[in-house]
Chains A and B, each alone.
Chain A
């Protein structure tokens, strides 16, 4: 069902709490640091200090740009990769990835022995610095190092692509039954709190709160959300990353109840997108101070509806949504099996891409995504997996907006060219030397 809605998206500001204000840095320290780094001319003893500083600087530069550092960092990256791979068996992909690869530091527990390790992100940043300084800027120039230089440029392109993706990419999915349409895609993991108010003409105004504002909310440390456009404040009293509603009388329960129901916390699923988050929220009328409590849960069909100051609002917790520059309509999904087996041979979705008045049919299949409007739409999965023949199916598309989408291909070409030139040249020399020997 499509909801007619004028999606006015605005982010609610959090109330200016005191901890938000950055504390001024003690000035003295900054000054002292400056003096140490930039010695003034003319003062007695500075020439000595200067040459020493230059020496220290040079040797620091030598270390930063050394091949040895590259080795150490590579070995560290190797160890992290290995540990992070083994950790996936227990932690699942997402948690292991965050812990080992997207961190700046971690403590790995080898049995009872805690081993502090630098995180994958830190190692990669250092490796990039080492690569730029040692592998590009300070590399001896000449035919002998040309191939290496080119290969290093390629690696740097690859790292840059990764950086751009980390900073700018958005990933999510659209799940459509045949005949359905969507103009937005949803994050796999990130949550948002959406406050919707119907306005005249069947339209609605929508305000969303990104998860950073309420992720840390706990009993006794509620997150307070406020917007000038709303007649109330929202207190998120308790946020649970994976939970289910349960009757409060059935078991000993933790946390507040609403109408005899509370949110029972569940262990996080290693597959992050299977988690169903929930939160206990209270609306505080700004005029009267009256409070109304409710539960929001990711799998809930109907939102928490409240009337404040004569206006009706619907509050729901859902995966973060991102608008698409077009509307996607699923006409037909086909799953073909190898004849006589239950093994999939192909998945295909016939979709319509509607941009303004223009609509064009596109077929999306495994290995053949749709690229349009800066987004790439992939055939990701389908369901229900136990559907009988003829039962309506849904198709899930992974949607990614990534400015560096095509960079790896170019970097691959560059790296290959550099390596082939470098090692080809060496091989040629070796062959000539062998020929002389014979």
Chain B
């Protein structure tokens, strides 16, 4: 009776955990657009669609805003001073066009208030880990800069956590300042000295806008050249007027380099980098090249900076003009797809489906023989995996790359292939275990993906460094090795089911259940071993193609080798009769930690050619996994030894 109750209690706990998971993934779905103050929902949508060039690729402003906000605040939506949370794009509009309001928002995440004290600011009643607004930090700005400059000279590995926090905070504040000043040019009124030929060029206007000057740039440059030649009687006065104007121009565009919002009017072959007002100004006065579409686009942004209305018309003009310029260059064709990718939040849906599947798995576990929960799990896991595959396919289309080329994408791919592999195992061996494993794998995998994204705080679709610029090897080696990871982890998960069931004495007296579990572990391990071996050798062949050596004992290579060795040793030990069901499950569970070491652990070592991905903060999660997994293995081993000893005692 007590066992039944403990089972129910555990099931309840699991159900609650799963509910939390589902609701957590659900919050990401919730629409917060309308809540942003001042900006209409339509305006935010339009602003989000504005293309810009950042990190070497053309992306929508919404993506840029979302990852910038994530970097500064650790969140995707901002807990504003107002009641509703602020959408990332709305926040970015605030920073760009109402900096005085944005400065008051509690934005910068400071993990330890000691950093604030170091700046000489009173922490007051704020928590140890809290968000600070730009204006709150303002009194310590000078000190922040000085300290950051000092700590920046220290190697990142040698810095204390406080020093690292100061450096990061300074970078974040700097990024904010960059954005805040990005539209200074649009707000500035440039004074025109009256009674000069310069003033005549502008029809006698006392003050003009940046776009007006750009439109007249060739004439101004010509005038400057003419006056500089010194033939004119009024040369001195005119030059003085020109210098005044140019000084003001320089001042206005100084901060404009943070955003590349202006697609060049020439083909990509001639100029790849998108313009900023600064480079437009430099080109206009340098080469005399002024494109009327740039002037128009500048005007649209200027109107936006001055308007007190909803800004929808201005944003629409700006978005349309920029999109036309980009399209003419053959750029930005994937913008709509990327917008849809984030708008529909397919990843959140997939996580929700896996979460529900997990709930049903718990139900199935309480009623192992009933059909309804079994069917529900199968359908939900299948749906979750399909949505995840759709996510991966969409990302491939946006990036024009094979499924895996970054650490983040390995997580998505491992989750997808792992859950599909578990489903296939269920098809081959209908014991209702593998399908539950698929639900767990899907849920945990997507949690890891979200966690990594939040820790890394970088665009998950970055440009690739030169050596990775080869779709052939990314498709073959990286895909094979990642499938190897997912199969190995699935085998480890199934092995854990076996070990935990043994430990908790479930299904005692039903050896068939354990036999089937062990068979699944064996089958999945074999599958994984093929991919691990082939993937590792392919990696060597790629290394030979790009670095000139097949094997260099680089940490990532060694990690892959460790997986191969672990799986091959397991299979041979089984052949030799050293490992039976139980031993094989212990080994397979242990191999899971070997995979984790190879996948994440070696990146934390910080040596070698493959140390991509900034993954500090993952250390804790990784060691927790090692600790739990090794404890399970050791406990199972200890129990087995005790059981053997007592059975011997009984026999004698």
Contact = CB atoms under 8 A, between A and B. Distances in A.
A111 to B, nearest CB: 19
Interface string B412-430: 0000000000000000111
A380 B576 contact: no
| B interface secondary structure, majority | helix
A339 B572 contact: no
A210 interface: no
B558 interface: yes
B472 to A, nearest CB: 9
A416 B534 contact: yes
B373 interface: no
Given A85-B559, A411-B537, A162 B548 contact: no
B56 A343 contact: yes
Interface residues of A, number: 62
A338 B463 contact: yes
Contact of B575 (A67, A84, A420, A427): A67
Contacts of B533: 415-416, 419
B134 interface: no
A93 B552 contact: yes
A271 to B, nearest CB: 10
Contact of A409 (B467, B541, B575): B541
Contacts of A77: 565
Contacts of A97: 552-553
B447 interface: no
B550 A67 contact: no
B548 A345 contact: no
A169 to B, nearest CB: 9
Contacts of A412: 534, 537-538, 541
B546 interface: yes
B534 A369 contact: no
Given A71-B573, A398-B547, A339 B274 contact: yes
B92 interface: no
Interface residues of B, number: 63
A124 to B, nearest CB: 11
Which of B602, B607, B608 gathers most chain A CB within 10 Å? B607
B426 to A, nearest CB: 11
Interface stretch (B1-9, B343-351, B522-530): B522-530
Nearest to A416: B534
A367 B602 CA distance: 24
Nearest to A405: B544
Contacts of A341: 55-56, 463
Contacts of B550: 161-162, 165, 408
B53 A431 contact: no
B541 to A, nearest CB: 5
A71 B569 contact: yes
Interface in A336-393: 337-341, 343-347, 366-369, 376, 378, 380
A378 B467 CA distance: 12
A367 B473 contact: yes
Nearest to B551: A162
Contact of A415 (B260, B523, B534): B534
Interface string A394-430: 0000111000010011011001100110010011001
Contacts of B260: 340
A378 B552 CA distance: 15
Nearest to A165: B550
A66 interface: yes
27 contacts: A70-B572, A71-B569, A71-B572, A74-B572, A77-B565, A78-B565, A81-B565, A82-B558, A84-B558, A85-B553, A85-B562, A89-B605, A89-B606, A158-B537, A165-B550, A171-B548, A340-B273, A340-B274, A341-B55, A341-B463, A347-B466, A367-B545, A380-B547, A412-B534, A412-B541, A415-B533, A419-B533
The 7 closest A-B pairs by CB, nearest first: A338-B56, A339-B272, A67-B576, A74-B569, A78-B565, A338-B463, A412-B537
